[in-house]
Amino acid sequence: MLPLPLLGRYARYKKDTSTFATWLQDAATACGYHPTTEVMQTKQKKKGASALSKVTYPVKELLSQAKAVANSSIQVTLPTPVFDAAQRAITARKDLNKHFELLGVNDRLNKSHVHFIQLLTESLNLVVPR
């Protein structure tokens, strides 16, 4: 169980992560990105095709979406509030990861968390204007 101060940060980083992931999904779609049929079918099996009001993609699609945006001829601007949300999410996730390490949380779970932080960071770096 998370201590109360971390619980609020957890809720915030989940919301911030969702803000960035939603923007990235919309931006990638605007740039012509389409997930593989396999990805779509996997998601439909898990959620039920009729239950989806918005298509969501597995975590592994973050990087593919970011590459699609970065390599697109279509100009897509990362809004400052979305950038800020992504930065907050990455920072909070790293902080929580340190907490997990101090508690000796399951190594496999922690590695998964670190992997997601890396994907999020790399995805953000790809779509930040240069």
Give residue-wise pLDDT tens across range 29-81: 999 998 765 565 445 555 555 544 455 667 888 999 999 999 999 999 999 99
Mean pLDDT computed over every residue of the chain: 82
**pLDDT confidence of residue 88:** 96
CB 89 within 8 A of CB 116: no
Contacts of 30 (CB under 8 A, 6+ apart): 74, 76
Structure tokens of 98?
Answer: 């340190």
Q: pLDDT tens digit string along 82-123? A: 999 999 999 999 988 887 777 776 677 678 888 999 999 999
Burial class of 8 by CB neighbour count within 10 A (0 to 12, 13 to 18, 19+): exposed
Residue 123 to residue 64: CA distance in whole angstroms: 8
Q: pLDDT tens digit string along 7-25? A: 778 889 899 999 999 999 9
**pLDDT confidence of residue 100:** 76
pTM reported for the whole predicted model: 0.80
> Of the given ranges (2-6, 94-98, 115-119, 126-130), which has the lowest mean pLDDT?
2-6
